[in-house]
Amino acid sequence: MSQLLPPSIDRHAHLEGSLDPAWVREQAAREGKVPPDTLEALWRGETIPFEGFIPAFFFSCGFLRSAAAVREILRAAVRRLAPAEEDLPRGLDLWVSPHYLCVHEKLLTLEELWRGMDEGIAEARPQGVEVAVIIDAVNHFGIQHGHAVLDLVLGERPPWVVGFSTGGIEGVPFREWAPVFDRARRAGLRLAAHAGENGPGTNVREAILEAGVSRIVHGVHAAAHPEILELLAERKIPVDVCLTSNRALVPDLGPHPLPRMLRAGVRCALGTDDPGVMPCDIPGEWKAAQALGLTPEELVSLRRHAVEDAWCYTAPGAV
With contact defined as beta carbons under 8 Å apart, do 264 and 302 qualify? no
Q: Cα angle at 275 between 273 and 278, to 5 degrees?
A: 100
- Residue 4's pLDDT is 83
8 A C-beta contact, residue 58 and residue 294: no
Average pLDDT over the chain reads 94
Out of 58-62, 111-115, 207-211, 313-317, least confident range: 313-317
- Asked if pLDDT for residue 222 goes beyond 90, the answer is yes
Residue 1: pLDDT above 70? no
Task: Classify each residue of 18-41 as buried b or exposed e, where b means 16 or more C-beta atoms within 10 Å of its C-beta.
Answer: bbbbebbeebbeeeeeebeebbeb
Q: How far apart are the first and last CA of the chain?
A: 33
The per-residue pLDDT for range 8-34, each reduced to its tens digit, is 999 999 999 999 999 999 999 999 999
The model's confidence at residue 316, banded by pLDDT at 50, 70 and 90, is low
Q: Which range, of 49-63, 132-146, 258-272, averages the lowest pLDDT?
A: 49-63
Residue 180: per-residue pLDDT: 98
Sequential DSSP letters for 120-146:
HHHHHGGGTEEEEEEEEEEGGG-HHHH
91-100, 172-181, 246-255: least confidently modelled range: 246-255
Give pLDDT, residue 51: 83
Strands (E), 7-63: 9-14
Q: Could you tell me the domains of the chain?
A: 9-314 (3.20.20.140)
State the sign of the Cα–Cα–Cα–Cα dihedral 45, 117, 95, 150.
Answer: positive
Do 22 and 36 meet the contact criterion of CB atoms below 8 Å apart?
no
Does the structure show a pLDDT above 50 at 190?
A: yes
pLDDT of res. 315: 65
How many Cβ atoms are within 10 Å of 86's Cβ, its own excluded? 4
**How many angstroms separate the CA atoms of 119 and 295, rounded?**
40
The mean pLDDT value for 193-222 works out to: 97
pLDDT of residue 88: 75
Q: Give the pLDDT confidence score for residue 290 in this predicted structure.
A: 96
Q: How far is CA 312 from CA 9, 42, 58, 161, 191, in A?
A: 9, 29, 26, 10, 14
pLDDT at 89 over 80: yes
| Whole-angstrom distance, CA of residue 310 vs CA of residue 319 | 12
pLDDT of residue 163: 98
The whole-number pLDDT of residue 299 equals 97
pLDDT tens string 259-277: 999 999 999 999 999 999 9
Which segments of the chain are extended strands (E)?
9-14, 90-96, 129-138, 161-167, 190-191, 193-195, 216-218, 238-241, 267-270
Q: CA angle 304-306-312, nearest 5°?
A: 130
Q: What share of the chain is helix, strand, coil (3-state, %, to 5)?
A: 50, 15, 35
